[in-house]
Amino acid sequence: MKKIVSIIVIILILISNATIVLADDFDEDDINDSEILEDIIDVSTNVENIPNTNSRAVLIYDRGAKKVLYEKNGYSKRAMASTTKIMTAIIVLENSNLTDTVEISKKAGGTGGSRLGLKAKDKITVNDLLYGLMLRSRK
């Protein structure tokens, strides 16, 4: 089961085209945004320090040093899309059986953005729903 979770997380990371920064489980620091802005390390003069990413927004923060190491649109608000997909996949894997069959509700069947084209009362396995979750969302 842990292998499946790892594979799904890796696939979602590759699909989402996002940069992910891991943090501690508990955030006991009281972070002051103005302090963070003052401590941004200037990487513009050293091309070697600029991460190679095609993400629209990135923020890398060193909690130990309390410094932003790099940011690209790091202070703009963004949707949680891929993070939500990853968390949904983990919760489903931890709490359900992949071979279970579920019936699509009227509300879920009417939700847009899916490439699966599910309608109310369709029956599908949890495994296939997870596969559908990992597909790239429509833009």
At 18 the pLDDT is 46
Does the annotation mark 137 as catalytic? yes
Are residue 65 and residue 103 in the same domain, yes or no? Answer: no
Are residue 113 and residue 55 in the same domain, yes or no? Answer: no
Structure tokens at 72: 């690209």
Does the annotation mark 85 as catalytic? yes
In a domain, 34, yes or no: yes
What domain range includes position 128? 96-134
Structure tokens at 30: 């009281």
**pLDDT one-digit tens code per residue, 65-97:** 888 888 888 888 887 777 888 899 999 999 999
Does the annotation mark 82 as catalytic? yes
Domain count, the chain: 2
- Give 124's pLDDT tier (boundaries 50, 70, 90): very high
Are residue 10 and residue 65 in the same domain, yes or no? Answer: yes
Which residue in 32, 39, 81, 31 sits closest to 56, CA to CA?
81
**pLDDT one-digit tens code per residue, 10-62:** 665 555 544 444 554 445 556 666 666 665 555 555 556 677 788 888 888 88
Are residue 67 and residue 100 in the same domain, yes or no? Answer: no
Map residue 72 onto helix, strand or coil.
Answer: strand
Are residue 68 and residue 122 in the same domain, yes or no? Answer: no
Task: Name the active-site residue from 55, 72, 82, 114.
Answer: 82
